[in-house]
Structure formats: structure tokens, C-alpha cells
Amino acid sequence: MAHRASQPARLIGPDGEQIELPESVYRVLRGAVHELGRGNAVAIMPVHTELTTQEAADLLNVSRQYLVRLLDGGEIPFSKTGTHRRIRFGDLMAYKQQRDERRREGLRRLTRMSEELGLYE
């Protein structure tokens, strides 16, 4: 079978207008379409976007008070605009990724311990 050159992804409008998409944009749109198809809401924003404490708490699925404790404890970088804290989206996602990895590692350890104790038999 002959090797074909990869063609760039394209967005085609209802009027037939075509726009070439970079691979990164294609991956974002593909993921968004998948999530929307599953009934999930999707938001696409630049990583430098600044969020309020409530918006950040909602993205982490925690209370605003808990998020403020994380901020004050130095877990997530933030800035202040007057008396209001602002969190960069990229910093929040970096924290979430680290938190999720710590949780996965904890679950792996619990699974190994359970297996060693014979609790899965």
C-alpha cells in the first residue's frame, strides 16, 4: 500500500468556506465535539485568562472557601486586583493535573495493598 501524505484538517462552513486547521486546534475541536456529544458543557479559553475564586472553585468542583485556603496556603499562585483574588487558568489547570495525579497514585497504592492482602479474590 502506498504511503499517502497527511492532509491538514479543515473546517468547512455551511456555505462551503474551508479553513485549514493546525493540528492543535483540530485536537481541541475534536475533544469538544466528543464531550458535547456526551452531554457535557465545554469552555475553551486562553491559559492566561484570569478567573474569580468562584469560577476556579467551580472548575475544581470544590467550595470557594476551600479554594481560598488553597490560595492562602500557597498551593495555587494568584494575584490580587484590589481585594479580589484572581487565578490564571493555566495555573489552576497545572494544580488540577498534579492533584489528579496524586489521587491516581493513591488509588494505585490502595489497589496494590488490597491485592497483597487478598481482598480481590
Can you give the pLDDT of all 121 residues of the chain as single tens digits?
455 557 889 999 999 999 999 998 999 999 999 999 999 888 888 888 999 999 999 999 999 999 999 999 999 999 999 999 999 999 999 999 999 999 999 999 999 999 888 887 6
**Neighbouring C-alpha atoms within 13 Å toward the C-beta of 90:** 4
3, part of any domain: no
Q: Is 1 among the domain residues?
A: no
Q: DSSP label at 99? A: H
pTM comes to 0.66
Of 81, 102, 80, 98, which Cα lies nearest the Cα of 90? 98
CA distance 40 to 57: 18
Helical axes 89-116 vs 53-60, angle rounded to 10°: 30
Is the same domain home to 40 and 57?
Answer: no
Domain count, the chain: 2
Q: Is the same domain home to 22 and 65? A: no
For residues 20 and 18, what is the distance between their CA atoms, to the nearest angstrom? 7
